Structure 1
Amino acid sequence: MARIILLSSLLIPIFLQANAASSTPASAIAAQYSLTASTAIPFPTATMSNSDTQSFITSNWNLLRNKIENGASFVDFVADPFPNAPAPGSQNASGPVLQVTYPVGSFSAGNQGGTQMVSMFNSSSAQPFEAMLVTYEIAFDQGYQWVKGGKLPGLRGGPELDGCSGGNQANGTNCFSTRLMWRTSGQGEVYAYVPRTDDICPNSKRSLTESDGVICDDKDGISIDRGSFAFSPGQWQRISLVVRLNNPPNVANGQITLYNNDQQALTKNDVQIRTSDAVYTAGLYISTFFGGGDDSWAPNSTMHTYFRNFQVFAGTAPSNLTRSTARRASR
């Protein structure tokens, strides 16, 4: 028996070291990909009314066209609803958080609930950014109604920053977007608008059929690794999303990687995000709502999500992974 106890005492610290080694904070991810520029989205030091919240955001978040695109009346800086349930290793778990409200029956990105805005990365770099990381903490109401799913913040890029969402497809020269979605029972995924090459959407798998963790739909975005991680109500968790553009533009070596609570949850390394050098990474895409485009996605009670600690890292070096020339999809 003494020998068994001794063996256990030796294995426990080894197991803990292995777990610690697999944890990758955002700063380490940024260093791995030479994302040397960074910015933290400022938050106020006290809670605010809706009108003051709108004023603070438009004054401090470097928004595209200096405005909240949708849902300005559904954002408020409030006290942390879950002060005793921080994300693992959170370095800033005090102060107000951003509450987003989704009223009963709300769905889509219109003015029925949720919010949408683009925070442009403000930098003095003379070169466009070709890789970007966004990290933030998120919490959902206790008893959150997942229904069929909804959108969550991610990244956006390209010269046409109004495109690549809402069914407006990416053609390789206009734009891209990579948001998150929650799905039924809180399943998580990356939801991307990128060109539909045969590398990511084989011709035989162009409808709602999963292939290699990807679900393609000609009308909407592409679901990547649905269920590879999950959201939980009533507690904070940290999301970190990396996008590295393919280089050269005709090669499918773009990278999309997601970490949940500093643990890698998914990665896709064969994505053609662009077909032209005119497409670049632009900034944080705060886009959150139930849906989906009809009321089958809508909650039957008012729901809230909460956000804090938005930070963006950026670099000028695109993907350097070795891949073959992208295979264009035929119709």
Structure 2
Amino acid sequence: MSTGSEDRMRRAVLTALAAALLTGVSACAATPASPGPAPSAASPGFAAGLGAGPPPGASPATPPASPSGPVPAAGDGETVRVADFERAAAGTAYGEGEWRGDDWPALWELGMSTRATVDAAVAHSGGQSLRVRYPAGKFGPEESGAQAPFTLEPRREYYVSQWVRFGAGFSFGTTSFAGKVGLGLAGGDSCSGGQACDGTNGFSSRLIWGRDGTAAIYYYSMGHAGQYGDAADLVAGGTRVRWRSDRWVNVVQRLRVNTVAGGQATADGEIEVWVDGVRAALVTGLRFVSNGDQVDRAYFSSFAGGGDATFAPRTDSVIFYDDLEVSTGWPGTAAARSPA
């Protein structure tokens, strides 16, 4: 066990490096949200994000269509969105129109129509998955990965589940190592991108990779330390979680927005993450909003970086995604949840 001063120092270091995950600093699976000592400013690792709205070059969305197939029931609760990538033929670019055909209405998309395709090489279920490219030497959402914020009916709490498999030889960066992974949750004006979250401009919570594929949850809430968001390492069964290329990994995130009383934000917001059904992070005592904003979008946000070329992959890299689900309870497509 560390001393109190050592513990405070570790928290400050983790917060200062959360934006870039330049080192493998470990955090406990249950990460308290109480403020610690003021850290030094974080490096601009995740300057691109939700807060600025659609990035340059993003394609506007068109009205949603009816879903093309049956939606499986959630484990407990209601399934709101599900995508298994079986409908379209292998090789199909999965732009906004394809997502809309699966009843995932997007506000805009970037990179989906150029770097996201249906792939028949590997799949978690069925015979196909979604393959997203991260080209060598490229970083940021304009040239790497894919993004799209999908609208949800506003609710205080949602779950998102996804099966993720990194491609063999995935390059996590050049001399800096960080990037966003897959599907997250956001609400209101989706505070992100180095913004100060004041309770009226929303919030966001997304998965990220770090050096050697270490996994963490990266989130923006009121009073986040430093310029950029906070991060909590994913630790399951006492072991630091790393993204895998040899098998599919299931990640479920639950976000619960705090209550507001008399215009004041109550510190009872939560983020919880499970990896293959085992709890890997629980962040409590969060204040996301001081107004009526709730969770109102599932945000697919995945790209290398990072704010400069040091975060770019050394080689062309890919991540496969399958069986994405948004639900109001434990997702039916997720791994069985282990007892708490």
TM-score (norm 1): 0.68
For each residue in 1:42-71, what CA deviation from the matched residue of structure 2 results, as whole angstroms up to 9, or x when unmatched?
523353444465531243343333x42345
For each residue in 1:93-137, what CA deviation from the matched residue of structure 2 results, as whole angstroms up to 9, or x when unmatched?
122111100111111122x1101001222x5xxxx3100000010
- Structure 2 SS opposite 1:292: coil
1:100 aligns with 2:132: yes
The two structures, once aligned, show a CA RMSD in angstroms of 2.4
1:144 aligns with 2:170: yes
**Corresponding residue number in structure 2 for 1:321:** none
1:311 aligns with 2:325: yes
- Structure 2 SS opposite 1:72: helix
- Structure 2 SS opposite 1:64: coil
Alignment of 1:192-231 (within 5 A): 192-196=219-223, 216-218=225-227, 220-225=228-233, 228-231=240-243
Instruction: Quote the Cα distance in structure 1 between the aligned partners of 2:308 and 2:273.
Output: 28
Cα gap change, 1:144 to 1:69, in 2 (>3 Å): closer
**Corresponding residue number in structure 2 for 1:258:** 273
How far is 1:240 from its partner? 0.2
Amino acid at match of 2:226: D
Amino acid at match of 2:324: F
How many pairs are equivalent?
A: 247
Residues 46 and 96 in structure 1, CA contact (< 8 A), matched pair in contact too = no
**Corresponding residue number in structure 1 for 2:312:** 298
For each residue in 1:266-308, what CA deviation from the matched residue of structure 2 results, as whole angstroms up to 9, or x when unmatched?
101111111112x110121100001111011111111000101
Cα gap change, 1:233 to 1:271, in 2 (>3 Å): same
**Corresponding residue number in structure 1 for 2:256:** 244
Computing the radius of gyration from Cα coordinates, the structure with the larger value is: 1
Amino acid at match of 2:258: N
Alignment of 1:83-162 (within 5 A): 93-110=125-142, 112-121=143-152, 128-147=154-173, 148-160=177-189
Residues 80 and 94 in structure 1, CA contact (< 8 A), matched pair in contact too = no
Counterpart among 41, 48, 63 of residue 105 in structure 2? 63
TM-score (norm 2): 0.66
- Structure 2 SS opposite 1:296: helix
Cα gap change, 1:263 to 1:52, in 2 (>3 Å): closer
**Corresponding residue number in structure 2 for 1:204:** none
The sequence identity of aligned pairs, in percent, is: 22
**Corresponding residue number in structure 1 for 2:290:** 275
Instruction: Quote the Cα distance in structure 2 between the aligned partners of 1:305 and 1:114.
Output: 9
How far is 1:313 from its partner? 1.0
Q: Is there any run of 5+ residues in structure 1 with no aligned partner, and where?
A: 1-25, 87-92, 202-215, 316-331
How far is 1:152 from its partner? 1.4
